[in-house]
Structure 1
Amino acid sequence: MKLNLEQIPREKTLSKKEFVQKYFKPQKPVVIERFIEDWPAYSKWSLDYVKEVAGDKEVPLYDDRPVKHDEGFNEPHAKMKMSDYVDLLQSGPTKYRIFLWNVLKEVPVLQKDFYYPDFGLRLMKGLPMLFFGGEDSHTFMHYDIDLANIFHFHFEGKKQCILFSQSETKYLYKIPHSLITREDIDFADPDLEKWPALQHAKGHITELEHGNVLYIPEGYWHHMKYITPGFSMSLRAVARKPRNFGQAVYNIFVMRHFDNLMRKFKGQKWIDWKNEKAVERTQKLLLQK
């Protein structure tokens, strides 16, 4: 059995009015295939180009190892020069990824290569973030701490994206006091006998290629898997729904700090308890279905 996933609709291009009416207001994901062909980045950005303009930069790397109690929030698992990292990506499969790498701060020259599009939402112009990954590397299923509306622009290679709305959370084995699901679930090929609740979750799937833009509605869960080496840039806009905005404030100012305190005081027992609770609570909700 497979996950219940429908293909995300694709549009060649969209006007602001069409985007707002068809996708933003109903909070539905969409892939826009030919929206950024007038950006210099469309023809310039590749792994080789990044190596050329940012090769000497030391970059933080992350893999798919489970969260540990003694690791800080977003603490990297390794570091290396960008030139060495690009060589690593191009030499074969690797689990190492870069995420939330700020373009304006790290490689200001790149900001000349893209524009802030007018989708009818006020984009946070200080936070254009780059994400890199090697063949077969992937993120855990998660949603962003600020539940933002995300525009995800992909460059080079192919990337598989699986999305779920917040309404499906009850089936996803969410970790309490956290933004992730159980880390031992392979959402690209899940064991539905071990994780039976996933059979009831209705989600979305697509593959991104160079120049594609994926709109991820606010608070959506997302799992990204690099089919080939590549990278993406995300632009974001604040959550508009009052409930989501309130949840974002709670996550940033309360939940994150509470979780860090509990890791400090209870150690690995806290991580283990959360993992057990994720299964317990999901199974309980499944019985009530």
Structure 2
Amino acid sequence: MKLATIDRVKTISKEDFKKNYFKPQRPVIIEEFIEDWPAYSKWNLDYMAKIAGDIEVPLYDDRPVDYKDGFNEPHAKMKMSEYVDLLKREPTRYRIFLWNILKEVPELQKDFSFPDFGLRLMKGLPMLFFGGEDSYTFMHYDIDLANIFHFHFHGKKQVILFDQKQNDYLYKIPHSLITREDINFADPDYEKWPALKKANGYIGELEHGQVLYMPEGYWHYMRYLTPGFSMSLRAIARNPKNLSKAIYNIFVMRHFDNMMRRMKGQAWIDNKNEKAIVNTHRRLGIS
């Protein structure tokens, strides 16, 4: 893979953001943007354990998709206070994702505001994501192909990004939003996955208080270098092609995939995984 370093700026105006990053659909890390938020000084793992400690949270790990798993069905559950203790005590693969703070802990909304990037943010969907040291998300893109602003808190996180033009090289699973789950994007095996050598993407690291802009439909792989958490705010896709893909994913693709899982079971999952290799290598003339 050829990975360029994600642009970094100290701060940025709305006009410069739209001109240099939103319109050309390029990612950027903004280092100093939320110092005036109460969250900047308050949000850490101890604070989350205090304010949400008794709430039972859904946990996910890096096990491969199984046909018996429902859409976004958690692999385990525990109280937030117990989960934070686990994060601080030892490395763990357990992560929290798509945890809606307006629903779970409305009080947290007092700690941040919705910034003006020149895009209309969806104010009902501020989501939190937590992870333990060296835990990671599979390479994926979001079902709605939204513009995403990813605010990181507590610790460090590595991110690898690809735009949709790289789909032919990433071993995308058919009827899905993920690549082959057995690819280690932090250290890929190019003998096993030769198409990855043709992929052009971006890499960067996030620290406390920094925000990453991910353009519409960008693939992202995120690895927690230390225990930590992030919050994502999103704006609907503006590109008509991406918006139509989002509508298809939400109203057609997701339901078709779930139906086939029920009908064919694990054979459906196994077949999709095999097709990811066959389709990728056939398109590129790799035998």
Cα shift readout 1:89-117 (whole Å, capped 9, x = no counterpart): 00011000000000100011100000000
Q: Please give the root-mean-square deviation of Cα atoms over the aligned residues, in Å.
A: 0.6
Q: 1:60 aligns with which of 50, 58, 61?
A: 58
Q: Report deviation, 1:285.
A: 1.3
- 2:185 paired residue number: 187
TM-score with structure 2 setting the length:
0.99
Cα shift readout 1:243-275 (whole Å, capped 9, x = no counterpart): 000000000000000000000000000001000
- 1:200 paired residue number: 198
TM-score with structure 1 setting the length:
0.98
Q: Report deviation, 1:180.
A: 0.1
Q: After the TM superposition, which residues 244-283 of structure 1 pair with which residues of structure 2 at under 5 Å, given as runs?
A: 244-283=242-281
Distance, in Å, in 1 between the alignment partners of 2:207 and 2:69 is 34
Q: 2:103 aligns with which of 80, 102, 105?
A: 105
Distance, in Å, in 2 between the alignment partners of 1:228 and 1:47 is 12
- 1:81 paired residue number: 79
Q: Does 1:212 align with 2:216?
A: no
Q: Does 1:156 align with 2:154?
A: yes
Residue identity opposite 1:222 in structure 2: H
Partner SS, residue 105 of structure 1: helix
Q: Report deviation, 1:129.
A: 0.1
Residue identity opposite 1:105 in structure 2: K
How many residue pairs were aligned? Answer: 286
Distance, in Å, in 1 between the alignment partners of 2:102 and 2:77 is 20
Distance, in Å, in 2 between the alignment partners of 1:113 and 1:246 is 34
Partner SS, residue 169 of structure 1: helix
Q: 1:43 aligns with which of 41, 44, 65?
A: 41
Partner SS, residue 275 of structure 2: helix
- 1:121 paired residue number: 119
Identity of aligned residues (%): 74
Long gaps (5+) in structure 1: none
**Deviating runs (4+, > 6 A) in structure 1?**
none
Q: Does 1:6 align with 2:4?
A: yes
Distance, in Å, in 2 between the alignment partners of 1:174 and 1:140 is 11
Long gaps (5+) in structure 2: none
Partner SS, residue 15 of structure 2: helix
